Amino acid sequence: DVKVTQSSRYLVKRTGEKVFLECVQDMDHENMFWYRQDPGLGLRLIYFSYDVKMKEKGDIPEGYSVSREKKERFSLILESASTNQTSMYLCATTTGRETQYFGPGTRLLVL
């Protein structure tokens, strides 16, 4: 059974803070993804990684960066949090080309 975990379920941060969201998977999956989910906008891809130290921009990378130092761990970094980054953040993984498995999500509130 695939297990994808995220470091926090809820997070409250202040504008300008540096924020780290972490995703860990235990299935040796190569590909990992970070999405944000907003009402009416669906899931939008921020960044993804297909291997350790490899990363590619998704559709909305501005204001975010990522880090993948180990295969099982993919971190999303908000360099200087802003109120428009208040959202639900979902991590997903896939072993190859098809089914993506999601983590439980982190609901981030930036004040």
Partner 1 sequence: GENVEQHPSTLSVQEGDSAVIKCTYSDSASNYFPWYKQELGKRPQLIIDIRSNVGEKKDQRIAVTLNKTAKHFSLHITETQPEDSAVYFCAASSTSGTYKYIFGTGTRLKVLA
19-25: strand order across its sheet? 4-6, 19-25, 73-78, 64-70
Cβ-count burial of 107 within 10 angstroms (0-12 exposed, 13-18 middle, 19+ buried)? middle
- Classify residue 18 by its DSSP letter: -
Binding mask 51-80 toward partner 1 (x if CB under 8 A, else -) reads -----x-xx---------------------
Q: Which span sits near partner 1 by CB under 8 A: 16-24, 60-68, 69-77, 98-106?
A: 98-106
Minimum CB separation of residue 86 from partner 1 in Å reads: 17
- Side chain identity, residue 74: F
- Per CB under 8 A, residues contacting partner 1 are 31, 33, 35, 40-45, 48, 50, 56, 58-59, 90, 94, 96-105
